């Protein structure tokens, strides 16, 4: 896979290294000369010096041969223009942009960027959801944050104890995907009953996440 990363700093360096370990080809565009030579010395990436919002520089970086383009500069306007340029001028379908202002995440998606991610948003939602309930041991988001996968332990006060999945009315758009009981995974069916200290792997969406957790654990988020 050919990838093009635009930006600088540690994020680009470590992204490039992670991509190499997966066997991807990496091209980097950076607008600082010293940083370009620093990156070129440490990575076996093709490093192009220049402003990536200039179509000519994108051409030099062989953009049309890329499978994915990632724009991770600290400027939202540059990330947006880069992703739109590679899509419109070079026909690249997979574009990822870092969004510094979390409000712009939706805007970017409306403007045709395949994946727009905001670090502020990701970090704050992890903190929020982790601190909300101590029974939650793990949480991560998939599909651009549209789906949550959570691990939750059923406490003594849980209102669903000793009931089967058929009996409880789990809120819509949520699923108990797996139950870990005494370290044995069980893929539940309607007749499977829930017991105290069961570890549930839950699939929820951000809109009903709190509601589902409250439903299963009895505590208020």
Partner 1 sequence: MAKAKNLYIIIIGCGRLGSFLANKLSDEGNSVVVIDINSRSFDALAPDQFSGFKVEGDATELATLKQAKLDKADVFIGATHDENVNIMAAQIAKNTFDVPKVLVRILDPSKESFCLATGIECICATIIAAEKIMTLLKEK
- Least distance to partner 1, CB of residue 30, Å: 16
| Burial (Cβ within 10 Å: 0-12, 13-18, ≥19) of residue 107 | middle
Query: Tokens at residue 14, please?
Result: 């470590």
Contact map string, positions 146 to 165, toward partner 1, x by CB under 8 A: --------------------
Contact map string, positions 70 to 99, toward partner 1, x by CB under 8 A: -----xxxx-xx--xx--xx----------
- Least distance to partner 1, CB of residue 108, Å: 9
Nearer to partner 1, 21 or 110 (CB): 110
8 Å CB contact between 202 and 174: yes
Contact map string, positions 44 to 73, toward partner 1, x by CB under 8 A: ---------xxxx-----------------
- Give the separation between CA 57 and CA 28, rounded to whole angstroms: 11
Nearer to partner 1, 95 or 104 (CB): 104
- Give the separation between CA 170 and CA 53, rounded to whole angstroms: 49
Q: How many residues contact partner 1, by CB under 8 A?
A: 20
Nearer to partner 1, 36 or 52 (CB): 52
Q: How many CA atoms lie within 13 A of 103 on its CB side?
A: 0
Ranges within 97-136 binding partner 1 (CB under 8 A): 101, 103-104, 107, 110-111
Nearer to partner 1, 32 or 163 (CB): 32
Ranges within 177-196 binding partner 1 (CB under 8 A): none
- Least distance to partner 1, CB of residue 56, Å: 6
Which residues, in sequence order, are bridge partners of residue 196? none
Query: Tokens at residue 80, please?
Result: 């947006």
Nearer to partner 1, 104 or 125 (CB): 104
Strand residues in the chain grouped as ranges (E): 2-6, 25-30, 46-49, 68-71, 95-98, 115-117, 136-142, 147-153, 175-181, 184-186, 199-204
Nearer to partner 1, 13 or 108 (CB): 108
Query: Tokens at residue 55, please?
Result: 């179509």
What is the distance in angstroms between the CA of the first residue and the CA of the last residue of the chain? 43
Residues that bind partner 1 (CB under 8 A): 53-56, 75-78, 80-81, 84-85, 88-89, 101, 103-104, 107, 110-111
């Amino acid at each position: 896979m050919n990838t093009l990363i635009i930006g600088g700093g540690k994020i680009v360096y470590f992204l490039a290294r992670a991509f190499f370990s997966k066997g991807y080809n990496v091209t980097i565009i950076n607008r600082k000369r010293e940083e370009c030579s620093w990156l070129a010395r440490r990575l076996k990436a093709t490093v192009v010096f220049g402003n990536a919002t200039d179509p000519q520089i994108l051409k030099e970086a062989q953009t049309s041969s890329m499978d994915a383009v990632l724009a991770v500069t600290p400027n939202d306007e540059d990330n947006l223009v880069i992703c739109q340029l590679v899509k419109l001028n070079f026909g690249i379908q997979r574009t990822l942009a870092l969004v510094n202002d979390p409000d712009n995440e939706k805007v970017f998606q409306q403007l045709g960027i395949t994946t727009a991610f905001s670090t502020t948003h990701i970090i704050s939602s992890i903190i929020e959801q982790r601190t909300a309930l101590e029974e939650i041991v793990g949480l991560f988001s998939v599909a651009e944050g549209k789906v949550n996968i959570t691990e939750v332990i059923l406490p003594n006060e849980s209102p669903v104890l000793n009931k089967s999945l058929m009996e409880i009315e789990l809120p819509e758009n949520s699923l108990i995907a797996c139950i870990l009981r005494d370290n044995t995974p069980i893929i539940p069916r309607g007749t499977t009953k829930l017991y105290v200290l069961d570890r549930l792997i839950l699939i929820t969406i951000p809109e009903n996440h709190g509601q589902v957790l409250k439903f299963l654990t009895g505590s208020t988020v």
